[in-house]
Structure 1
Amino acid sequence: MPHRYTAVLLLIVTLALSACASNGSAKAGAAGAASDPWETVNRKTDAFNTAVDKATLKPLAKGYRKIMPDLARRGISNFFDNLGTPAVALNNFLQGKGRDGFVDIGRFLMNSTVGIGGLIDVGTEFGLTEHDEDFGQTLAVWGVGDGPYVVIPFFGPSTLRDALARPVDILSGPLHYYENSSVRDKLRVLQAIDLRTRLLTAERFLEDSNDRYITLRESYLQNRNYKIYDGDPPMDDDFYDDIYDDMLDEEP
């Protein structure tokens, strides 16, 4: 992508996110009820994504898991996790978490050298904690509101804020700047299969639910809230109200 198109794309994302910020603080909205005004369209998009997944990525992931040894799959997962570490470090710095950012840099350097290009997670063995940050989380820390829940074709569940931040995540990844398009595209396909394989076990939870769409939506939003607060999200006030109401109902 030429640099001028990249600059225009970033400008569009920034302007759109400014509008998204009018929905209020992300940390205030993340703990509340899901905002899903586009549920009708979202359900159709989710059904489309599910159909495409069943015809493409899911069988590929099952075959990949069946023929690829555990050790090899773990190495490939480590490789892609390591490849995304510089972007994680950048977002930690943008969020004001300098210590975590330097830990990420240390992990990347150690895994890329001693860990043979990231195939072996040496950093964890040396106490360098792995983090999971993206630009959507950074915007949340800066006070940009979630916006409505939205299901993106082919990509799945998101919020409006995270959907608009996704291009920045793509631009911050090293694969985007790898000039050999043939190798780059093959790596992206392998990365998608690797990610889908990791989700095979978790999807059983969705299959057992009464309403797959609602279960996926709530799980996604709770997981995003968990990540934004680094594993310590605030308790929703409605949760305490429900407990109080239950206690009143149980009184004689």
Structure 2
Amino acid sequence: MRTAIFAALLALVLACGTGCASRQENAPAASQQVAAESVAQTTDAGEDFGGLDDYDDYSAEDLAAQDDPLEGWNRFWFHVNDWFLEYIVKPLHKGYAFIVPEPIRNGVSNFAHNVAFPVRMLNSLLQGEFAQAGVEFDRSVVNFMVSLGFADVASQSQPLYPYHPETENFDYTLGVWGVPDGPYFIIPFLGPSTVRGAVGETGDAFMKPQYYALDWEVSTASSVYFAFNGADALYKPYDQITESALEPYVALRNAYLNMRKNRLQRMTFSSNTQD
């Protein structure tokens, strides 16, 4: 069902084009929902957002990064997502965290990461990163054999080949194939992305083994639960970015685009070093 929603949304965006670019002036200072998959890929909890200050500035050197032809769409869903996170996700998750101990929540997050290893491994193969695909497979086998996937045992040892799970997604695969990033795009109920990132989310959803091994109701429910379990790792940095910002929408957009830029630079440097 989620993949169908993604496809419909992308079709609507492409049809609207720049006609959605009407500007609104004020955005609430609450928190944005960036938490539906996780466990997904586009806003990893360990990402460097390049600092949390001065994201309201419209400096001339950042005009290209701030190009936002879909701003009308993005601002609308920023408000909706913000309300959804502030009044539904955050209160429910705080109650959940009070009942469920942190070690159990961490175990669930580890399991969600480990069970999605086919998605990461397949994307590594599509990118021509065969060594990284092998590292991904080996790590997952170790984690499942030792802890049934509820612990990240493999992280205790340094792999012989650099391990970059943040690039093992279809968004990055499309980039390797030369597909441009496209404009900034907020995915309803998921959070900030780009047009290519949204397409990548859809591709990763189709690669998940549970969508083929389980009924769609069960697979969708498990994906929602996995995302909800780790929601605090996403809304806490979001709060840091937006709560003190004069323009929370601009602060989130600039922080997210800066994170993507920094990640690409790190991966490019790492690839050049290996060569």
Q: TM-score range by the shorter chain?
A: 0.7 to 0.9
SS at match of 1:201: helix
Q: Distance in 2 between matches of 1:160 and 1:80?
A: 25
Alignment partners' CA distance in 2, 1:74 and 1:136: 26
Distance of aligned partners of 1:136 and 1:182 in 2 relative to their CA distance in 1, 3 Å threshold = closer
Q: Out of 217, 225, 230, which is 2:261 matched to?
A: 225
| 1:115-126 map, 5 Å | 115-116=147-148, 118-126=149-157
Q: Identity, % of aligned pairs? A: 33
Q: How many residues align?
A: 211
What are structure 1's unaligned runs of at least 5 residues?
Answer: 17-29, 235-252
The TM-score normalised by the length of structure 2 is: 0.68
* 1:91 partner SS: helix
Contact 1:140 1:228 in 2 (8 A): no
For 1:134, the equivalent position in structure 2 comes to 169
Partner of residue 86, structure 1: 118
Go from structure 1 to structure 2 and tell me whether the alpha carbon gap of 1:99 and 1:157 turns closer, same or farther (over 3 Å shift): same
Q: Does the 8 A contact of 1:78 with 1:121 survive in 2? A: yes
SS at match of 2:231: helix
* Alpha-carbon shift at residue 74 of structure 1 (Å): 0.9
TM-score, normalised via structure 1 length: 0.74
Q: CA deviation at 1:195?
A: 3.2
- Extract structure 1 runs of 4+ deviating beyond 6 A: none
Distance 1:230 1:107, change over 3 A: farther
Report if the CA contact (8 A) 1:149-1:160 is conserved.
yes
Question: What's the RMSD between the two structures over aligned residues?
Answer: 2.8
Task: Give the structure 2 partner of residue 153 of structure 1.
Answer: 188
Judging changes above 3 Å, is the alpha-carbon distance between structure 1 residues 211 and 71 closer, same or farther for their aligned structure 2 residues?
A: same
State how far apart, in whole Å, the 2-side matches of 1:212 and 1:232 are. 30
Q: CA shift at 1:151, angstroms?
A: 1.2
What are structure 2's unaligned runs of at least 5 residues?
15-61, 271-275
SS at match of 2:150: coil
C-alpha distance in 1 between matches for 2:105 and 2:250:
31
Distance verdict in 2 for CA 1:123–1:63, change over 3 Å: same
SS at match of 1:146: coil
C-alpha change, 1:152 and 1:138, in structure 2 (3 Å) is: same
Change (3 A) 1:171 1:229: farther
**SS in structure 2 at match of 1:215:** helix
- Paired AA for residue 252 in structure 2: L
> Contact 2:119–2:208 at 8 Å: present in 1 too?
yes
Give the Å deviation of 1:214: 1.1
* Residue correspondence of structure 1 range 50-129 to structure 2 within 5 A: 50-116=82-148, 118-128=149-159, 129=163
What letter matches 2:222 in structure 1? L
Give the drift of 1:41: 2.4
2:231 counterpart letter in structure 1: R
| CA distance in structure 2 between the aligned counterparts of 1:225 and 1:93, rounded to whole angstroms | 23
Aligned to 2:29: none
